[in-house]
């Protein structure tokens, strides 16, 4: 094996070790946040679901809100897992409050249960904005994989009353921005 190839392999190994250490430090920050934050139970259509709220440490309330929806093919997953959880410490460090939500899973709960649950979580945040010192005029929502699809559906159903079923009907479920991570959609509308 040539000397250049050996050094290249050493550099790749060192780089991978650095990435693992970096990911570990982010996960430790997230876990430290998770240990201190309240867990809220909401019950869209009578089904109890958990939502974690993460608050910024350094900025003044009221805080703008971001909502995280986990992935998992709509059949598995949890608010404590998924590709987006590593972003929560960065979002709180930038002064945002983050709500990580769970939603009902398939096949026991067919579509549009997950959309109704995400929209109910947004309405919950608006209904309890004063209690948690949240600025809910504009709410952002992001997710990866199935969570990304869910985020797109939340955005695409804005203003559609059929998707605003559940608790807190007096509150709007409209969000300001939806961001999908690593998802592909065919948005070509065919007649």
Query: In the structure, how many helices (H) and strands (E) does the chain have?
Result: 5, 6
Confidence of residue 130 (pLDDT cuts 50, 70, 90): very high
The answer to whether residues 26 and 89 touch, using CB atoms and an 8 Å cutoff, is: yes
Is the pLDDT confidence value at 126 over 90? yes
The answer to whether residues 68 and 87 touch, using CB atoms and an 8 Å cutoff, is: yes
């867990």: which residue's tokens?
39
Is the pLDDT confidence value at 191 over 60? no
Segment (H or E) for 89: helix 88-93
User: Which has the higher per-residue pLDDT, 92 or 175?
Assistant: 92
Query: What CATH number labels 39-181?
Result: 3.40.50.1820
Query: Which one, of 51, 56, 44, lies nearest residue 68 by Cα?
Result: 51
User: Which has the higher per-residue pLDDT, 131 or 36?
Assistant: 131
Q: Are strands 63-69 and 134-144 parallel, antiparallel or unpaired?
A: parallel
Q: What is the pLDDT of residue 86?
A: 83
């Amino acid at each position: 094996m040539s000397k250049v190839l050996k050094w290249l392999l050493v550099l790749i190994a060192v780089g991978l070790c650095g990435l693992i250490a970096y990911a570990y430090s982010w996960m430790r920050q997230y876990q430290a946040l998770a240990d201190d934050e309240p867990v809220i139970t909401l019950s869209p259509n009578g089904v109890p679901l958990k939502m974690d709220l993460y608050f910024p440490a350094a900025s003044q309330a009221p805080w703008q809100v971001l909502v995280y929806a986990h992935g998992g093919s709509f059949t598995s997953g949890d608010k404590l897992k998924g590709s987006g959880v590593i972003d929560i410490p960065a979002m709180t460090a930038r002064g945002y409050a983050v709500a990580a939500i769970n939603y009902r899973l398939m096949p026991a709960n067919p579509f549009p249960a997950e959309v109704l649950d995400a929209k109910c979580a947004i309405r919950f945040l608006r209904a309890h904005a004063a209690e948690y010192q949240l600025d809910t005029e504009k709410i952002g929502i992001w997710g990866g994989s199935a969570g990304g699809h869910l985020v797109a559906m939340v955005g695409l159903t804005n203003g559609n009353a059929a998707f605003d079923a559940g608790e807190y009907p007096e509150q709007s479920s409209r969000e300001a921005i939806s961001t999908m991570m690593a998802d592909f959609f065919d948005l070509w509308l065919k007649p």
